[in-house]
Structures are given as structure tokens and as C-alpha cells.
Amino acid sequence: MAAQYRGTPTRAPDQQSAVAAPTAGAPVAVGTAPAPGRPRASRGSALAGRTTPYLLILPALVATAVLLGYPLVRNVIISFQTLNAFQLIQHTTQWTGFGNYKEQLTSAEFWHTTERSIFFTLANVALIMVGGTLIGLLLNRLGKRMRLTLSIGLVLAWAMPYVAATTVYQWLFDTRYGVVNWGLDKLGWHSMAGYNWLGSQFSTFAVITLMIVWQSLPFVALNFYAGLTTVSAEIFEAARMDGAGAWRTFSSVLFPMLRPFFLSTTFLEIIWVFKAFTQVYALNAGGPAGLTETLPVYAFVEGVGNQHYGTGAAISVLTILILLALMSYYFRIILKQEDEL
Amino acid sequence: MRRSLFGRTWPNVVALVLFVFFVFPVYWMVTTAFKPDLDIISTTPVFIPFHGTMGHFDKAVHAAGFWTLVRNSFTVTICSVVLSLLVAMAAAFAVARMRFRGRKAFILIVMMAQMAPWEVMTISVYMIVRDQDMLNSLVPLTLFYMMMVLPFTIWTLRGFIAAVPKELEESALIDGCTRLQAFWRIVLPLLAPGLMATSLFGFITAWNEFPLVLILNKESAQTLPLWLTQFQTNFGDDWGATMAASSLFTVPVVVVFLFLQRRAVGGLTAGAVKG
């Protein structure tokens, strides 16, 4: 899912229809006489009627099998091969069994990168969810004009393409002429004048985190706010009458009501941050000295950069497995909901 | 309930600070693009540019191959979105309107495909495309972008189709339309807003895609996101030109996005709350 809108919530269609239905359906529906009884949908033979749905989903299935299924399988196949520049040019296939996996699972670098990726993901997602919730609550409290102003700011940040955002952040944090260093210097932090943000692991991660949080907050904040507007005022009133404070109202009333929202958003953000490649790679290519490589960047640098495609494929299979493990709880919920589809 | 003066003021103050936090990078990009070099590399940043110049845009637009890449980006984006709409419309119609064995399985496949980790699949995609001798071509790029936006497109269109009252279609059938005619004359016109919204989201995704084109295509077969990162490398400290390039790249997306934002937001929550 490379989507900027951060993917589709699992339950999107029903509400989409809720949005679309009145505008789309109403004018025509009024004038049409109700159909007398249920007409027979299919006039062709029963067989044709039964095969129609399969014919309709066939293109989508074929596309998914060829363009998504096959690359996934191929990825696993390559991960069992030694595939370096030599084998690539010679077009030879050299199997190595679990060699690539053994190499990775016993390498300190792989585990450091994994640890780094997971911490990076958790830190970002925590910041995004807490910050987004707070901004959503703030939006709910603001007057009309101020709310519109803040929303416009949020949408602008949301709309920024990743690559463009990355170049802008490089410029903001530029060592010599960056406005951030200038500002910190003016605020009395004189050692920050001429500070090289991309020179150390921690400061590079700080910039990447700021950028990712900046890009993601709008999605969470605006959606949470939209969710809040569906909670009726009486409920807050009732909570207040019962003597609930702000925190209590949130934790005992709001959170349980909007639980599905928090759940799906948190997991969407986990996927999104964990596989964030563009931002990390375009900002500093995993540097300095590979210290900010997250798993997707590590797979790319090892596989494509160093032309160890087999190794890169093994890393990417392991990355997918780790992502699946992180998401397993969410998948269980989806499967349980299957009945409602 | 009346609130104290402090209680009424602080939300606005915080909102203002947040507004600046979110807007400033965008503002800084656009203003830097218009500033003359002297204002860009001055020891005191110029926050409000009084002297504008189009020089940086001129430089960005005249950088080698710019127009080729613009054409590539538009070709790939538009073709992939149109293709995915066609494929998705058929599938979405089946899922929204028909009952058949394997329907749930199909929906699950779509949901899983939505989360496909494309960013870590680049190596195998590269090998597949290389086997077909199609590196540096726009065709595989178009096909894979089509696949990236397909699950989302099916998923949203399914909702839009379900929203069209079934009775409309049925009365058309009674009036002598075939099922295809009923779809073509009744459902499709009502779907127009939905198709628009869905395709614009696809547009944004394909327009911004970076990892795949990074590995598949070189030089004149690239798209704009790559151009932008390389522009920055090639022009080094020419921040004016870099910001002009970023602005040019961003403008189409922001226009589309402002247009769509309501739908996007309404989208997630209504369902989330209902559940």
C-alpha cells in the first residue's frame, strides 16, 4: 500500500455509500415507480447467471495473481538463491538453501536493524496517535473560524508528496542556511548554529520522526475529529452530570465508543511507518554509515546497492514476516468480522 | 457552560501554534522558490519575500529532460488509474450486487492486497521485469501502479455501487434493458462522483510512487519523484531551484487533495464509529 491517503480503512465502503447515497440516488429514486415484485435478474440461462460474477472478478484476480502474487512468490524463491552481480549477468541460478537466512539471522547488523525498525515504528506511532487524538479534541473545541484555519493547515501538510516533503525538510534543517538552526541559535541555543543534523544517528532519526509525524498527524486528527462529531452532545452532557472529568470522559466514554477507529488507525499507522522507505531513503539514504537504515532500506541497500539480490530478498521476506507478526492481532479481528462483509 | 477567559483563549493559541507548525514547511518551500539567491543564503532568513523572482522556476523547467519526465509521469499515472478503474468496476459490481460462492474469500484477498508491502518487494519485481526485458519501459510501471491502486479502487467502488438503489436497476430491467444496459444507463451516471473521487486518490498514489521506479527505470524513462531527488543531488546547494522543483511537483497533488479532503475524512470515520 503505497497510498498517500494511508490506505483504506477496512470498513470504508459502507460509509462511503452513506456519503454518496443521498446525493446520487435521491433525485431519480423519487420519480421512479416501485418495481412490482422482484424481477428475475438474469434472463439468460441459469448457467450464464451463475458464471457472470466470476467473469466479472476474473480480471482483478488475474491481475492480483500475476502482479502481486507472483512477485511475492518470486521474492521467496530468490531468497533461497545466491544472486549477485555475477549470477545476474550470467543468467545462472545458484541455490543456497537457507544460506541467506542463516547469514542474516546470525548477523548482528540484521538484529540491530530489526530492533531499530521496531523502536522507530513504535515511537512514531505513539507520537502520531497521541498527538492526533489531542489535535482532534482541540478541533472539537475550537470556534468555527479557527477550526477551519487549523484544518487547512492540516490538509496542506497531509497533501505534501513524500519526496517533496523530504527535500523541504533537508532545506529546513540545512547546516548553514537552514531556518531551524537559525531559530535555535536565536533562542539562545548557540551551539546549534551550523549544526549538522544529518551527521549523527540520533539527530537524523529526529528529523525523520518529525517529518513522519508531521505528515501523519493530519490523517489521524481529522478522522478522529470527524468521529467526534458523530458522538451526540447528550452523551458528554450525561458524563458531566455524572461528575466525570475530562480524562474520565475520554477513557470511559469516548474511547470505548470510538474503539474501532483507534484500532484500525493504529494498525494502519504501524504498517505505514514500518514500511516507510521513501522518507528514510530520500532524506539520508540510511546514513550516516547505515545507522538509520530501517528494514526496508536495509533490504534495498543490501540487495540493490551491494548487488546481493538473494540476501536482499531474504531480508525482505523476514521483514514481511515481522510485519505480519506485528499485525497478527489486527488480522484476527478482520477475520472475525468476515461474517459481516 | 461559561468558560474563563483563559479557558477560552488557550485553545486558539494552541491552534495557531499548530497551524504554523503544519503550514510552515509548505510556506517555506513556496517562498524559497520565489526568493532571489541573496535572500536564500542570508544569515538572517527572509520570512516575507519582497523581491520575487521566477528564475528558479525557469531553471527547474529547463533542467535536462524535465518535460520528458512530466510526460512519463502523466502517462503512467493516467493509464494506471484508468486501467484499475475498468478492472475494479467489474469486480466491485460483482461484489456489491451479486451473491456467489467465494465472494468472501475474494473480499479478503482484496483487503490483504491493500496492505501489500510494495516497498520491500522491489527486488523480485526488478527480476521479473528484467526477465521480460522490460526495464526502462513505462509498461511494467503502469501495470504495477495499476495493481497498487486496484484494491483500494475495488473497495471504494463497491461502496459507491452498493449506494445506488437496487430498485433503479430493477425497474430498468423491467423496462426492457439488459443488465449491461441497465448498468451503463442507470448505475454508471450515478457513480460519476464516486469514480471521480476514487480515481483522484489513485492519481495521488501513482504520482508519488518512488521505490519501484527507483529500481526499474533509468534516465529518460524515469518519473518526476526520481527527478526531484536527483535534482537535489545534482544541483546541490541551489535551494531556490530545488524548492521551485518541489513546488512544481506538489501543486497538482495539493489541488487534487483540497478538492477531495472531505470525502477522505468522511470515509474512514463513519464506518469506524458504526462498527
The answer to whether B121 contacts chain A (CB < 8 Å) is: yes
CA distance B243 to B37: 12
pLDDT exceeds cutoff 50 at A1:
no
* Chain B residue numbers touching A337 (CB-CB < 8 A): 275
Q: Give A67→chain B minimum CA distance, Å.
A: 6
Q: Which residue of A has its CA nearest to B216?
A: A304
* Structural domains counted in chain B: 1
Q: Which residue of A has its CA nearest to B85?
A: A60
* Chain B residue numbers touching A141 (CB-CB < 8 A): 11
Q: Which residue of B has its CA nearest to A29?
A: B168
Compare CB distances from A323 to B87, B93, B117 and report the shortest one's residue.
Answer: B117
Closest C-alpha among A148, A205, B266, A204 to residue A156? A148
Q: Which fold has domain A67-231+259-340?
A: MetI-like fold (1.10.3720)
Residue appearing with cell numbers 505480519? A324
The answer to whether B251 contacts chain A (CB < 8 Å) is: no
The whole-number average pLDDT for the span A274-301 is 92
Asked whether A15 and B269 are in contact (CB, 8 A), the reply is yes
The whole-number average pLDDT for the span A201-218 is 96
Closest C-alpha among B50, B56, B99 to residue B242? B56
In a domain, B24, yes or no: no
* Chain B residue numbers touching A129 (CB-CB < 8 A): none
Q: What is the DSSP letter of A34?
A: P
CA distance A250 to A227: 13
pLDDT at position B2: 59
In a domain, B143, yes or no: yes
* Chain A residue numbers touching B246 (CB-CB < 8 A): 164, 167-168
In a domain, B175, yes or no: yes
Cell of A106: 546470525
CA distance B194 to A223: 20
The whole-number average pLDDT for the span A95-122 is 95
DSSP output for A277-289: -HHHHHHHTT-ST
* Chain B residue numbers touching A17 (CB-CB < 8 A): 159-160, 162-163
pLDDT at position A32: 37
What length does chain A have?
341
Q: Which amino acid is at B48?
A: I
pLDDT at position B187: 86
Give the three-state DSSP class for A95: strand
The answer to whether B219 contacts chain A (CB < 8 Å) is: no
* Chain B residue numbers touching A131 (CB-CB < 8 A): none
Confidence band for B139, pLDDT divided at 50, 70 and 90: very high
In a domain, B35, yes or no: no
> Taking the CB of residue A273, how many other CB atoms lie within 10 A of it?
23
The whole-number average pLDDT for the span B21-28 is 96
Q: Which amino acid is at B145?
A: Y
Confidence band for B266, pLDDT divided at 50, 70 and 90: very low
CA distance B225 to B229: 7
The answer to whether B139 contacts chain A (CB < 8 Å) is: no
Confidence band for A339, pLDDT divided at 50, 70 and 90: low
Does an H or E element contain B162, and which? Answer: helix B138-163
Q: What is the ipTM of this complex?
A: 0.87
In a domain, B101, yes or no: yes
CA distance B271 to A226: 11
The answer to whether B111 contacts chain A (CB < 8 Å) is: yes
pLDDT at position B65: 84
Q: How many CB pairs under 8 A join A and B?
A: 412
* Chain A residue numbers touching B40 (CB-CB < 8 A): 177
What range defines the domain where residue B79 resides?
64-268
What length does chain B have?
275
Asked whether A240 and A249 are in contact (CB, 8 A), the reply is yes
Q: Domain ranges for chain A, please list them.
A: 67-231+259-340
Higher pLDDT, A180 or A339: A180
Cell of A97: 538453501
The answer to whether B82 contacts chain A (CB < 8 Å) is: no
pLDDT at position A331: 83
Confidence band for A227, pLDDT divided at 50, 70 and 90: confident
pLDDT at position A8: 40
In a domain, B160, yes or no: yes
DSSP alpha helix (H) spans, B164-236: 166-174, 179-182, 188-208, 211-216, 224-235
Compare CB distances from A163 to B93, B210, B264 and report the shortest one's residue.
Answer: B210
CA distance B108 to B100: 14
pLDDT exceeds cutoff 80 at A39:
no
pTM: 0.86
Compare CB distances from A4 to B165, B208, B245 and report the shortest one's residue.
Answer: B208
- Residue partners of A316: CB distance under 8 A and separation at least 6: A75, A79, A296, A299, A303, B117, B120, B121, B123, B124
DSSP alpha helix (H) spans, A229-258: 233-241, 246-248, 255-257
In a domain, B1, yes or no: no
* Chain B residue numbers touching A299 (CB-CB < 8 A): 120, 123
Asked whether B153 and B202 are in contact (CB, 8 A), the reply is yes
HSE value, Cβ hemisphere, 13 Å, CA-based, for A154: 28
Asked whether A51 and B94 are in contact (CB, 8 A), the reply is no
Residue appearing with cell numbers 548553514? A176
Higher pLDDT, A121 or B180: A121
- Per-residue burial over B5-29, b if 16 or more Cβ lie within 10 Å, else e, is eeeeeebbebbeebbeebbbbbebb
* Chain A residue numbers touching B235 (CB-CB < 8 A): none
CA distance A7 to B114: 7
The answer to whether B227 contacts chain A (CB < 8 Å) is: no
Compare CB distances from A142 to B11, B26, B207 and report the shortest one's residue.
Answer: B11
The answer to whether B274 contacts chain A (CB < 8 Å) is: yes
pLDDT digits (tens, 9 = 90+) for A144-187: 899 999 998 998 898 899 999 999 999 999 988 899 999 999 99
pLDDT at position B48: 84
> Taking the CB of residue B71, how many other CB atoms lie within 10 A of it?
12
CA distance B41 to A254: 49
In a domain, B26, yes or no: no
Q: What is the DSSP letter of A200?
A: S
Confidence band for A7, pLDDT divided at 50, 70 and 90: very low
Q: What dihedral angle (degrees, nearest 10) is formed by the CA atoms of B182, B186, B192, B194?
A: -80
Instruction: Give the CATH number of the domain where residue B244 resides.
Output: 1.10.3720.10
The answer to whether B91 contacts chain A (CB < 8 Å) is: yes
Give the three-state DSSP class for B222: coil
The answer to whether B108 contacts chain A (CB < 8 Å) is: yes
Higher pLDDT, A14 or A105: A105
CA distance A338 to B111: 11
The whole-number average pLDDT for the span A202-227 is 94
CA distance B179 to B97: 12
